[in-house]
Amino acid sequence: MSLKFRQIALIGKHHSAFNNAPPDQARQVLTSLTQWLKQLGAQVFLEQDSAQQMGLDAAPSLDVQGIGRECDLALVVGGDGTMLGFGRQLAPHGIPLIGINQGRLGFITDIALNQLEAKLEPMLNGDYEEDHRVMLHAHVWRGNESVFQAQALNDVVVNRGATAGMVELRVSVDGHFVANQRADGLIIATPTGSTAYSLSAGGPLLQPSLGGLVMVPIAPHTLSNRPLVLADPAEIVIELVAGRDASANFDMQSLASLALGDQVKVRKSQHHAVFLHPRGWSYFDTLRQKMHWNEGGS
């Protein structure tokens, strides 16, 4: 069989050495993958920071923009956080990603190391499930000026300061006033992000193929403020009415400090992250495994 993907980027989690894995194991995984892919006839590139941090020179290195230009597939070895980070960065280039799980949870990195070659080879030949994930694009507006913008694959979160009390947020959807909420914060999550912070705050699980988003208050002052599933909103606007040291987080990576009157405007991104899974992959199988459902059952 001929490879469907011939220019393949390898990306590793170099910060904290693949969670608790020794640094030598991290290098070994990427080195072995490089050799195996070359034997299959692929041209292999290493993501630049991964190569530098791990001292790898088994293949040429490229930065993210270079991967977007030169490659037709990225293999991400790490946890969901690594997958999210590069999913955001590569989405504008339309590069699909395959996640190889070296993390603790693995909602979107679903190939285990001990199944690597058996699961991966059919996928490289075109036998896979394609999974398009909604992303968010958010601006922080201060008056008529956009002072910050970022993409998010999981969520956009407006939070109170670490030592401050509740914030008061004025929320509207598609130009319609929804509510003034007093809470520790507010989460706008994609279906992918519904298994992250949103879930911890009491939000529902959303199937990834849904087009909707979920809005989840964090520790609301009024208990009747409940999570709300939104159907393809054009724009969600969150205005900081009261509260000190508030901030907006984007996938818990980028951070913007907020001043009173600032507005965080969130809408769906024009880009999608594209994940590839082994044939037969099911979101519900993943949920059952990762959420430990039916434990003790037959």
Residues annotated as part of the active site: 80
Tell me the one-letter amino acid at 81: G
Residue 58's φ and ψ, nearest 5 degrees, are -75, -10
Distance CA 83, CA 237 (A): 28
